[in-house]
Structure 1
Amino acid sequence: MNFPLDWRALSLGLLMTGAGAFAPVAAAKPPVVTGVQAAPTQQRPGHAAIASANFLATRAGLEVLRKGGNAFDAAIAVASTLSVVEPESSGIGGGFMAVLHRAKDGRNVFIDARETAPAAVDAKAYLDPDGSPNRDTALNGPLSAGIPGEPAGLVLIAKRYGRLSLQQSLAPAIRIARDGFKPDPRLHDSIAEEQKVLQRWPASAAKYLVNGQPPLPGASWRDPDQARTLELIAQHGDDGFYRGETAHKLVDAVRAAGGNWTLADLTGYQAKERTPISVDYRGYKIITAPPPSSGGVAIAEILNILSGYNLSGMDKVQRVHYVVEAMRRAFRDHNDYLGDPDFVKMPLDMLLSPYYADGLRQSILSDRATPSSMLPRAEPADAGMHTTHFSIIDADGNMAAVTLTVNTILGSKFVAAGTGVLLNNEMDDFALVPNKPNAYGLLGSKANAPAGGKRMLSSMSPSIVIGPERTMVIGSPGGSTIITQVLEGILHFIDGENAQQIAAHPRFHHQYLPDVVMVEPGAFDPATSAALEKMGYTLKQREPWGFMNVVTWDRRSNRLDAASDPRRPSGLGEVR
């Protein structure tokens, strides 16, 4: 669509947002401490709430709470149970990111259990002979799999934050895997969708297919190999997965199928505590994920831009316009700057600065969309719908926002024989070919190029929002849309919506490139859509996305609410 632009206003803003304007800003130094300290929570809910993508996982968490566990023990129970009952979205062969809040001392901490590249990674293995990306190698089979982080992350949480033993917290998942469960329709549909790929590897076919076909709906499913692997973790902690019997089986299976893992890759893996990103917006503190997640940086940048506007006083068209333009600019920076903080120097001081946001805001016209092609590409100096999320608040006010993933549906589709472990395909989240899109259409630069031991960039955005009278724990799957889903959830929460309204709210999304606004059915009425198109936006309707799980705490009434996304009927939010 052609339309007139106010070139003077746009030029001023672009001059202020170009990388050169901020070249002198030093990259943020790695934090010395591993948690953001806040005032201890004086008030306690007295009861607990969990919202997850599967009712068996929610009830596993509640079971552990009844045994005397806290939110962090419950998180281990929910995560491990999801590994058994929701393998299309997460599992011990993948990784997770979590924001935890400990009530007794107000400590907020980020747990980084993101997967890492094996030492022998070679970007050329993911290219076709003509130099174009080989999507099959990047998404299917052992070369697509990073070294799993979830087991180490669960062990870390148990050691440092839980009340119960690892055996007690893993017991529900072990029981369900051993005794059996009835898969929900989402898992049946996922297996049917990936049936041909699963048939490539005998262990994958043996686990997910019956005589070469997807299992019949309503049939019970047992997973004794994964039960055994979880038992070894329960008994031996990290050594039960990264060393010994399981480690040898993992490496043998991967290498026999053409992968490049070694025992040293497994023994060298470490889950890490990092300082979460904290941003203030309209009197609310948002505690969210730092790199190697791109989500928290993008959310903070967007909120800093939006802080210059009175969104609550705007009509729907103007509000959407400013939110989309803020999304556009944050995703531009997402593509160019961010990566693993242990490998890449990132200008986080710049990206999180309100002064930088002021410059970005100046490039937004009040009545016109900014074509993404008009925003200069940043040139930094050298220096996942198949994910899942759950939210927990316990009776003492401890909180856990945990997002887990194996990347795309059923991850790599490769099961390591004798372990029950379905491996992730997170190698695709690296910029395997710079400036070529991954499975979610996201571009990347050399900041997110693969290297041995490096964590790939993620969009996972587990977040806790603390306001003057209300608190929220939120997150969602959805690949690149995770960031905008959580952002929109935060804005709706600040506007006063409850957990059910936040999880159900129709969504829209813009990620810089492609230069389109993705819109869920019902998000915009015809008049709003027409007005946005007149401003220069290209709208593209698509099927509903995400699987948001939200817990809110109204501290005035001491009421907890839990909501699972109504787009996916298998989820459960429950208050006890």
Structure 2
Amino acid sequence: MIFSLRAVALRGRVLLLAALCSGGAAFAADGAPRAAPAPAVNAAAISQRPGHAAIASANFLATNAGFEVLAKGGNAFDAAVAVAATLSVVEPESSGIGGGFMAVLHRAKGDRDVFIDARETAPAAVDRKDYVNADGSPNRDAALKGPLSAGIPGEPAGLVLIAKRYGRLSLQQSLAPAIRIARDGFQPDPRLRDSIAEQKQDLRRWPASVAKYLPNGKPPAEGAIWRDPDQARTLELIAAHGDDGFYRGETAKKLVAAVQAAGGNWTLADLDGYRAKERAPIVVNYRGYRIVTAPPPSSGGVAIAEILNILSGFDLTRMAQPQRVHYIVEAMRRAFRDHNDYLGDPDFVTMPLDMLLSPFYADGLRQSILPDKATPSSMLPRAEASEPGMHTTHFSIIDADGNMAAVTSTVNYVMGSTFVAAGTGVLLNDEMDDFALVPNKPNVYGLLGSVANAPKPGKRMLSSMSPSIVIGADRTAVIGSPGGSTIITQVLEGILHFIDGESAQQIVAHKRFHHQYMPDVVNVEQGTFDAATSDALTRMGYTLKPRASWGFMNVVTWDRKTNQLDAASDPRRPSGLGKVQ
């Protein structure tokens, strides 16, 4: 029965694709998304500038580093380099130069949007057998801990690309705050200390990890000054030599030697061959707003666009909460199903993105939603997801000229691979788990994948990162969040709240809910629904499951009618800072 249902579903999607083609819809041969036309925007808004700046990030030191660089004459893109590098020092549990990022940038001059893909890649010697147990199940230790779990980092190359193509300042100027903080020290916040304590058993497996994170055998004490001279040196080399300071020369040799000594398979050629890439962002129109978001190898933008296209056929503003949530969850369910089937690295996989992003495809999906009943997700084996955790970070920037940066950066799971490469201060990511190492078996976030996301040499693993910019006739938002697979739905909900007219502070404080097709449950933050709404959703057939951990969203908004900027950091992260200056 499972196979017949799946066959019917796939046959239906093939027939729909054929109908779209015969109806004159365009499909790119390379699977690249077509840009949607922009909604009507006040002509004066294109040349309007706010005259001041706003930054929201998960750590006040990073936000202040961004403003320090703006004060030197930098723009939003220089500030993005400063914020990301500082987060690498002060928030290593979530991001860093040993990981990667995805960014949506808006350059005010020329009204241009671009996507920066600094996602990690698989090393040339990748072998799926290294991540599979004898019984065929995923080997979670190999995929999540130690050097085999690490992809080739993309963040250094991405920061260099942004600085050279879009910044005003030198890398030395933009990286100076992070280098100073790493060299002179800072007081770790409670979340970093707790993350080190949570991962101490794995950190103890690697001598350089112990030396960095467990001085005297313990996590840093409250109030202690923590210094990171090795990372300061690595950042100094990047500042002086750009890509060569990380992917070649002294740092590259130390990275490869450390990885290979611990059983990993990186080579100098893997590092030398890494390139950050510019790609066309995905653009979708919803209720008069233009949403600019992340294309593959992010799955986030495709899913958000598909959900918004489905929801465009409903007037959510007139619905009671149970009905509104019902339609949003059903749209989430269908988008995540397609996420599992189709998406991967566009340099390796041909994807039917024009179909997935088509309003006609959304029409067909919308017709399959019953008005008063949940649709069971029964076509794939059940898979229980881990708590998503906040092991990613996001920051949002608008500068005085109206340049914007939405940047989501990650090392994947908490403290990444827990493996520090000796002599570099670089904590490596564990992004190899984001590949479909065993087809249709869930990763640590419970996401399923097909051969489209199978690991291959040089291939980028699929990501949920969804940095986005939302542009309306009078209001603009820069938005994103960490949270594993819940990134997509959290950003979606933030976009909907912004379009409903809410402020940055209201958006980041909202309670959240999430559905990802499998497992067939609605994850709910405590306090999201009142008793009546919960009862109504249960009667429709939904299983509501409490989830304690959610992403730390950071949002900047610009009201162009009043020329007011607003910045808000998620109240779930007390050390975050949204600041207007």
Q: TM-score normalised by the shorter chain: which range applies?
A: over 0.9
Amino acid at match of 1:415: V
Residues 31 and 275 in structure 1, CA contact (< 8 A), matched pair in contact too: no
Residues 41 and 397 in structure 1, CA contact (< 8 A), matched pair in contact too: no
Deviations 1:180-210 (A, max 9, x none): 0000000000000000100001000000002
Q: Following TM superposition, by how much is the alpha carbon of 1:22 offset from its aligned partner in structure 2, in angstroms?
A: 2.3
Residues 377 and 518 in structure 2, CA contact (< 8 A), matched pair in contact too: yes
1:569 has 2:574 as partner: yes
For residues 342-421 of structure 1, the aligned pairs below 5 Å read: 342-373=347-378, 385-421=390-426
Q: Following TM superposition, by how much is the alpha carbon of 1:132 offset from its aligned partner in structure 2, in angstroms?
A: 1.0
Deviations 1:283-332 (A, max 9, x none): 00000000000000000000000000000011101100000000000000
In 2 relative to 1, CA 32–523 (structure 1 residues): closer, same or farther, beyond 3 Å? closer
Match of 1:530 among 515, 522, 535: 535
| Equivalent residue, structure 1, for 2:385 | none
For residues 199-218 of structure 1, the aligned pairs below 5 Å read: 199-218=204-223
For residues 282-321 of structure 1, the aligned pairs below 5 Å read: 282-321=287-326
- Distance in 2, Cα, partners of 1:123 & 1:374: 25
Match of 2:63 among 55, 58, 67: 58
- Aligned with 1:373: secondary structure? coil
Amino acid at match of 1:28: A
In 2 relative to 1, CA 374–210 (structure 1 residues): closer, same or farther, beyond 3 Å? closer
Deviations 1:109-137 (A, max 9, x none): 00000000000000000011111111011
Deviations 1:509-542 (A, max 9, x none): 0000000000001110000000000000000011
For residues 242-257 of structure 1, the aligned pairs below 5 Å read: 242-257=247-262
Match of 1:134 among 133, 139, 142: 139
The CA RMSD measured in Å over matched residues stands at 2.1
In 2 relative to 1, CA 566–17 (structure 1 residues): closer, same or farther, beyond 3 Å? farther
Q: Following TM superposition, by how much is the alpha carbon of 1:35 offset from its aligned partner in structure 2, in angstroms?
A: 9.5
Deviations 1:167-191 (A, max 9, x none): 0000000000000000000000000
| Equivalent residue, structure 1, for 2:93 | 88
| Equivalent residue, structure 1, for 2:386 | none
| Equivalent residue, structure 2, for 1:558 | 563
1:467 has 2:458 as partner: no
Q: Following TM superposition, by how much is the alpha carbon of 1:398 offset from its aligned partner in structure 2, in angstroms?
A: 0.2
- Aligned with 2:238: secondary structure? helix
For residues 222-237 of structure 1, the aligned pairs below 5 Å read: 222-237=227-242
Deviations 1:213-247 (A, max 9, x none): 21211100000000000000000000000000000
In 2 relative to 1, CA 338–14 (structure 1 residues): closer, same or farther, beyond 3 Å? closer
Residues 518 and 542 in structure 1, CA contact (< 8 A), matched pair in contact too: yes
- Distance in 1, Cα, partners of 2:408 & 2:34: 19
Amino acid at match of 2:292: I
In 2 relative to 1, CA 20–258 (structure 1 residues): closer, same or farther, beyond 3 Å? farther
1:28 has 2:28 as partner: yes
| Equivalent residue, structure 2, for 1:7 | none
For residues 101-180 of structure 1, the aligned pairs below 5 Å read: 101-180=106-185
Unaligned runs of 5+ in 2: 383-388
- Aligned with 2:508: secondary structure? helix
Match of 2:79 among 66, 74, 95: 74
1:428 has 2:423 as partner: no
1:261 has 2:266 as partner: yes
Deviations 1:439-464 (A, max 9, x none): 10000000000000000000000000
- Distance in 1, Cα, partners of 2:350 & 2:416: 29
| Equivalent residue, structure 1, for 2:13 | 18
| Equivalent residue, structure 2, for 1:331 | 336
Using the size of structure 2 for normalisation, the TM-score is 0.94
More deviation, 13-22/48-57: 13-22
- Aligned with 2:46: secondary structure? coil
- Distance in 2, Cα, partners of 1:19 & 1:473: 36
In 2 relative to 1, CA 63–497 (structure 1 residues): closer, same or farther, beyond 3 Å? same
Residues 188 and 220 in structure 2, CA contact (< 8 A), matched pair in contact too: no
- Aligned with 2:442: secondary structure? coil
- Distance in 2, Cα, partners of 1:34 & 1:488: 24
Amino acid at match of 2:396: S
- Distance in 2, Cα, partners of 1:115 & 1:147: 5
- Aligned with 2:378: secondary structure? helix
Residues 30 and 350 in structure 2, CA contact (< 8 A), matched pair in contact too: no
Deviations 1:417-472 (A, max 9, x none): 00000000000000000000001000000000000000000000000000011000
Q: Following TM superposition, by how much is the alpha carbon of 1:143 offset from its aligned partner in structure 2, in angstroms?
A: 0.1
In 2 relative to 1, CA 14–131 (structure 1 residues): closer, same or farther, beyond 3 Å? closer
Q: Following TM superposition, by how much is the alpha carbon of 1:265 offset from its aligned partner in structure 2, in angstroms?
A: 0.2
Deviations 1:481-500 (A, max 9, x none): 00000000000000000000
Residues 15 and 21 in structure 1, CA contact (< 8 A), matched pair in contact too: no
4+ aligned runs moved over 4 Å, structure 1:
13-17, 23-27, 30-40, 374-377
| Equivalent residue, structure 2, for 1:4 | none
- Distance in 1, Cα, partners of 2:506 & 2:344: 34
Q: Following TM superposition, by how much is the alpha carbon of 1:375 offset from its aligned partner in structure 2, in angstroms?
A: 9.3
Amino acid at match of 2:201: K
Question: Taking every aligned residue pair, what percent have the same amino acid on both sides?
Answer: 81
- Aligned with 2:163: secondary structure? helix
- Distance in 2, Cα, partners of 1:530 & 1:452: 49
- Aligned with 2:115: secondary structure? strand
- Distance in 1, Cα, partners of 2:63 & 2:370: 45
- Aligned with 1:279: secondary structure? strand
Residues 297 and 460 in structure 2, CA contact (< 8 A), matched pair in contact too: yes
Amino acid at match of 2:107: R
Amino acid at match of 1:466: I
Amino acid at match of 2:17: F
- Distance in 2, Cα, partners of 1:320 & 1:181: 43
For residues 268-283 of structure 1, the aligned pairs below 5 Å read: 268-283=273-288
Residues 98 and 462 in structure 1, CA contact (< 8 A), matched pair in contact too: yes
Q: Following TM superposition, by how much is the alpha carbon of 1:15 offset from its aligned partner in structure 2, in angstroms?
A: 8.7
- Distance in 2, Cα, partners of 1:423 & 1:14: 40
More deviation, 134-143/365-374: 365-374
Amino acid at match of 1:177: A
Residues 34 and 109 in structure 1, CA contact (< 8 A), matched pair in contact too: no
Match of 1:195 among 195, 200, 206: 200
Residues 33 and 354 in structure 2, CA contact (< 8 A), matched pair in contact too: no
Residues 28 and 346 in structure 1, CA contact (< 8 A), matched pair in contact too: no
Residues 31 and 350 in structure 2, CA contact (< 8 A), matched pair in contact too: no
In 2 relative to 1, CA 29–50 (structure 1 residues): closer, same or farther, beyond 3 Å? farther
